[in-house]
């Protein structure tokens, strides 16, 4: 079935309580019987109004007709919970739930949250797949009630090399042995500069320089934290060549950073951070117009960058990436 057009996803206010409660009851009531049964069918206008007054929710309409709704839960610090995700049973599989999830993630960002959590019934495999397709991962739960979560991606501008290194030091405080960071971006975009800040934050033996010709360098810890394995995959032609470095042997006890690793290093771990570095062209007094990528120490020039951080895997669910890196 084709998706519905002109969907309006709006904030559900207390005056919408009766409409939202009706959608929830009809949506959950149309599901097959579960054991134990869902309590969603017992929602009332009063119970929904109480949630909307404290945490809020969303309502989907098309030409004034209610199509779907969900309730928010702010009981967990730094996270936004989604409850009673409901779609009118007469219009299932028409994009209503996807539209709500997209706006819910935007709402989490606006409220300064790091991520989202929700519960899913194990007996509903189509619902489980719906959330998995949207990069939500299972984080816990037993029996029939599974917990899923997602840490939100973020983008941060750094205006100088010092800013880039400061961002890395902030991230270092969240890292532990076994973490994998995959760095991508053009020449001179700031990948090595970032790794230098990361090494400083991890307190490992330096100096940290681009390992292009050595391919991989190990920097042991100076204190009790993990070491740093710094890999430059620029000259590697395939994932098999990366395999030959035997990084698996050191992955568990170190933080591993792979520059130019996109499309190669993902095989190392399903739990990873992907950091993309993009240079923003700055005005230059250089009459020759020499670009950063044409200089010997391009990575150290003070030019604005945008660093995009995208988490993958259950490791990062619940980790305060946004609040830490955005300050």
Q: CATH code at 123? A: 3.40.630.30
Do 176 and 145 fall within a single domain?
no
Same domain assignment for residues 147 and 158: no
Whether residue 278 lies inside any domain: the answer is: yes
Per-residue pLDDT, averaged over 288-302, amounts to: 44
Q: Please indicate, yes or no, whether residues 264 and 142 belong to a single structural domain of this protein.
A: no
CATH number at residue 212: 3.40.50.300
Average pLDDT across the chain, whole number: 87
Question: Do 92 and 214 share a domain, yes or no?
Answer: no
pLDDT digits (tens, 9 = 90+) for 245-289: 667 667 788 999 998 878 877 888 899 999 999 987 654 444 434
Q: Tell me the residue range of the domain where 288 lies.
A: 154-325
> Does 205 share its domain with 159?
yes
Span between the terminal Cα atoms of the chain, in Å: 44
What pLDDT does residue 234 have?
73
More confident residue, 283 or 105: 105
* pLDDT tens by residue, 168-207: 999 999 999 999 999 999 888 999 999 999 999 999 998 8
* 243, pLDDT greater than 70: no
Q: In the listed set 121, 151, 181, which residue is the last one of a domain according to the structure?
A: 151
Q: End of a domain among 91, 121, 151? A: 151
Whether residue 71 lies inside any domain: the answer is: yes
Task: Kindly report the pTM of this predicted structure.
Answer: 0.84
Q: Are residues 19 and 54 in the same domain?
A: yes
Residue 88 and residue 185 share a domain: no
Q: Can you give the chain as a three-state secondary structure string?
A: CCCCCCCEEEECCHHHHHHHHHHHHHHHHCCCCCCCCCCHHHCCHHHHHHHHHHCCEEEEEECCEEEEEEEEECCCCCEEEEEEEEECHHHCCCCHHHHHHHHHHHHHHHCCCCEEEEEEECCCHHHHHHHHHCCCEEEEEECCEEEEEEECCEEEEECCHHHHHHHHHHHHCCCCCCCEEEEEECCCCCHHHHHHHHHHHHCECCCCCCCCCCCEEEECECCCCCEEEEEECCCCCCHHHHHCCCCHHHHCCEEEEEECCCCCHHHHCCCEEEEEEEECCCCCCCCCCCCHHHCCCHHHCCCCEEEEEEEECHHHCCCCHHHHHCC
Cα–Cα dist 305/192, whole Å: 13
The structural domain count of the chain equals 2
In a domain, 3, yes or no: no
- pLDDT category, 211, cuts 50, 70, 90? low
Residue 34, pLDDT score:
85
More confident residue, 7 or 274: 274
256 and 195 housed in the same domain? yes
Mean pLDDT of 137-153: 92
Q: Are residues 144 and 189 in the same domain?
A: no
The per-residue pLDDT for 252 is 80
Distance of CA 298 to the CA centre of its chain: 29
- Whether 1 is in a domain gets the answer no
95 assigned to some structural domain: yes
In this structure, the answer to whether residues 128 and 70 fall within a common structural domain is yes
**Boundary-marking domain end, from 114, 136, 151:** 151
146 and 160 co-located in one domain: no
- Taking residues 279-302, report their average pLDDT: 48
pLDDT score for 210: 74
> Quick check: is 2 in a domain?
no
Residue 237 and residue 163 in one domain? yes
């Amino acid at each position: 079935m084709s998706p519905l057009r002109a969907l309006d996803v709006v904030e559900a206010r207390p005056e919408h309580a009766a409409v939202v409660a009706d959608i929830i009851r009809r949506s959950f009531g149309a599901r097959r019987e579960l054991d134990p049964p869902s309590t969603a069918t017992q929602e009332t206008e009063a119970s929904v109004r109480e949630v909307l007054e404290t945490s809020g929710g969303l309502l989907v309409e098309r030409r004034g007709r209610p199509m779907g709704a969900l309730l928010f839960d702010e009981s967990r610090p730094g996270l936004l919970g989604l409850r009673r995700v409901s779609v009118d049973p007469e219009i299932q599989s028409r994009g209503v739930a996807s539209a709500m999830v997209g706006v819910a993630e935007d709402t989490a960002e606006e409220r300064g949250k790091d991520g989202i959590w929700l519960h899913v019934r194990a007996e509903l495999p189509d619902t489980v797949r719906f959330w998995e397709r949207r990069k939500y991962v299972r984080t816990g739960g037993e029996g029939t009630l599974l917990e899923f979560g997602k840490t939100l991606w973020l983008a941060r501008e750094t205006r100088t090399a010092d800013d880039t290194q400061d961002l890395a030091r902030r991230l270092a405080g969240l890292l532990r042995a076994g973490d994998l960071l995959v760095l991508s971006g053009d020449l001179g975009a700031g990948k090595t500069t970032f790794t230098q800040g990361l090494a400083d934050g991890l307190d490992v033996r330096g100096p940290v320089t681009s390992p292009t010709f050595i391919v991989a360098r190990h920097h042991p810890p100076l204190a009790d934290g993990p070491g740093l394995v710094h890999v430059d995959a620029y000259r590697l032609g395939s994932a098999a060549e990366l395999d030959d470095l035997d990084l698996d042997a050191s992955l568990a006890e170190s933080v591993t950073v792979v520059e130019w690793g996109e499309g190669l290093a993902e095989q190392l771990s399903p739990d990873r951070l992907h950091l993309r570095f993009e240079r923003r062209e700055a005005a230059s007094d250089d009459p020759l117009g020499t670009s950063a990528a044409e200089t010997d120490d391009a990575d150290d020039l003070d030019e604005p960058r945008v660093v995009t951080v995208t988490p993958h895997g259950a490791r990062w669910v619940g980790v305060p990436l946004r609040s830490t890196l955005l300050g």
